[in-house]
């Protein structure tokens, strides 16, 4: 365990209310992010990763039930008064949302959108719009542009500038590069990486694309059906996944040049489960190729693997000889 994490989440449950009844989107998640550390959170759509991100700053619909605890720099986010919460958002932790084109206000100039966040937190920051633009590699002239005058990559840079404008400790990046082209994606990842290092920021990097995580994160957590099923050091986890789901996810991103994946596309049969009606026992068992009878009834908790102190896996086979840690 990390001594004084910037973010400490314990037993977090987030349940949406829908016309079909309660929908458990996050079901008992523990997370720690240390100062300067980047944690990658991977999973498919509907697994609860964006809900988790939003819940960290209580950005969920009013009727949603949240339980458990979220400590951001030692302060409890879930019990904060609204006024204090407003100070924490942007200044302590900020979010880079996916799809910048839908997040920026189309009828407001870029400069004033960045300035808005700065003005709201006037006491805590002295940065200017110009500094922020320079930081993310945009020219001063961009401040007078409207969002439609910028390219996708430039808009994402603006989002990053806004997220950094109040000097937060933690950046939550929710699929920051998903809608972008490969080359622009590489530029944005590089930018995030440089800024993170210069400022010693912590980051929660959420993505469905496992392949971008190996270079950009220290640790990776894989989420399935609202729960973390495997967590560990990035390289180790991506090269030698133990949980059958993370293994399948890793295999669906072939290593170019590896003869094993040539003409061998690999995927998982079946579809991600519906949070409305989760399978019994281990929620992964209907798609799992190594499931045994007990998986249908017993849901294994995330627990440390005997072979590696840094790894935690939620699978009945986690300590089998054949699934050795590579």
Partner 1 sequence: MSSNEQYSGNALLELRDVHVAYPARRRGGSVARAVDGVQLILQPGEIVALVGESGCGKTTLARAILGLQQLSQGTIQFDGESIPTDAAGKKLFRRQVQIVFQDPTASLNPRQSVYEIVAEGLRIHGNSENEHKIVSAALERCGLHPADRYMLRYPHELSGGQRQRVVIAGAMVLEPRLLIADEPVSSLDASVRGEILKLLQDLARDKNMAVLVVTHDLGLPWNIADRIAVMYLGRIVEIGTTEDVLARPKHPYTRALLSVVHEHLQLEQQILKGDTPDPTSIARGCRFNPRCPMVQSGEAERLGILQKCLNDDPVLPNKQNNDHVAACHALNF
Which residue ranges make up the site for partner 1 (CB under 8 A)?
44-45, 151, 153-154, 181-187, 190, 208-212, 214-215, 245, 248-249, 251-257, 261-269, 271-272, 287
CA dist 8 and 14 (Å) reads 16
Phi-psi region of 68 (alpha: psi -120 to 50; beta: other; left: phi over 0): left
Stretch (H or E) spanning 315: none
Residues 6+ apart with CB under 8 A from 183: none
Q: Which is nearer to partner 1, 94 or 207 (CB)?
A: 207
Q: How far is the CB of 223 from partner 1 (least distance, A)?
A: 13
3-state secondary structure of 239: helix
In the complex with partner 1, the residue whose CB is nearer, 91 or 206, is 206
Q: How far is the CB of 120 from partner 1 (least distance, A)?
A: 31
How far apart CA 150 and CA 159 sit, in angstroms, is 12
Residue 274 beta carbon to partner 1: minimum distance, rounded to whole angstroms? 9
User: In whole angstroms, how close is the CB of 258 to partner 1 at the nearest point?
Assistant: 8
Instruction: State which H helix or E strand residue 49 sits in.
Output: helix 49-56
Give the residue with the Cβ less far from partner 1, 112 or 264: 264
3-state helix, strand and coil shares in percent for the chain, rounded to the nearest 5:
35, 25, 40
First to last CA, the chain: 22
Residue whose CB is less far from partner 1, 167 or 261: 261
Closest distance of CB 132 from partner 1, Å: 20
Output the smallest distance, CB 96 to partner 1, in A. 19
Nearest 10 degrees: Cα torsion 200, 214, 206, 102: 90
Which of these, 255, 263, 285, 264, lies nearest to 273 by C-alpha position? 285
Nearer to partner 1, 94 or 217 (CB): 217
Task: Tell me whether residue 148 or residue 266 sits nearer to partner 1 (CB atom).
Answer: 266
């Amino acid at each position: 365990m990390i001594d004084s994490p910037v973010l400490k989440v314990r037993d977090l449950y987030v349940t949406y209310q829908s016309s079909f009844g309660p929908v458990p989107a996050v079901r008992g998640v523990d997370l720690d992010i240390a100062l300067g550390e980047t944690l990658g959170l991977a999973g498919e759509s509907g697994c609860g990763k964006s809900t988790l991100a939003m819940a960290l700053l209580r950005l969920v619909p009013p009727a949603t039930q949240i339980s458990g605890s979220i400590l951001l720099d030692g302060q409890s986010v879930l019990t904060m008064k609204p006024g204090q919460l407003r100070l924490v958002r942007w200044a302590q932790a900020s979010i880079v949302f996916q799809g910048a084109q839908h997040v920026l206000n189309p009828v407001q100039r870029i400069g004033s959108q960045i300035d808005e966040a700065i003005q709201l937190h006037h006491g805590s920051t002295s940065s200017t719009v110009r500094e922020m633009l320079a930081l993310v590699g945009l020219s001063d002239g961009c401040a007078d542009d409207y969002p439609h005058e910028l390219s996708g990559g430039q808009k994402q840079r603006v989002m990053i500038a806004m997220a950094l404008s109040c000097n937060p400790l933690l950046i939550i990046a929710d699929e920051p590069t998903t809608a972008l082209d490969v080359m622009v994606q590489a530029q944005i990842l590089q930018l995030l990486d440089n800024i993170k290092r210069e400022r010693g920021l912590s980051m929660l990097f959420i993505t469905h694309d496992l392949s971008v995580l190996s270079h950009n994160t220290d640790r990776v957590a894989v989420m399935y059906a609202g729960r973390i099923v495997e967590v560990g050091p990035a390289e180790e986890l991506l090269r030698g996944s133990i949980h059958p789901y993370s293994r399948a996810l890793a295999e669906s991103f072939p290593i170019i040049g590896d003869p094993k994946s040539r003409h061998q596309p690999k995927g998982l049969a079946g579809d991600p489960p519906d949070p409305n009606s989760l399978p019994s026992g281990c929620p992964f068992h209907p798609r799992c190729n190594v499931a045994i009878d007990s998986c249908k009834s017993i849901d294994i908790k995330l627990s440390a693997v005997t072979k590696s102190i840094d790894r935690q896996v939620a699978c009945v086979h986690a300590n089998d000889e054949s699934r050795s840690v590579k």
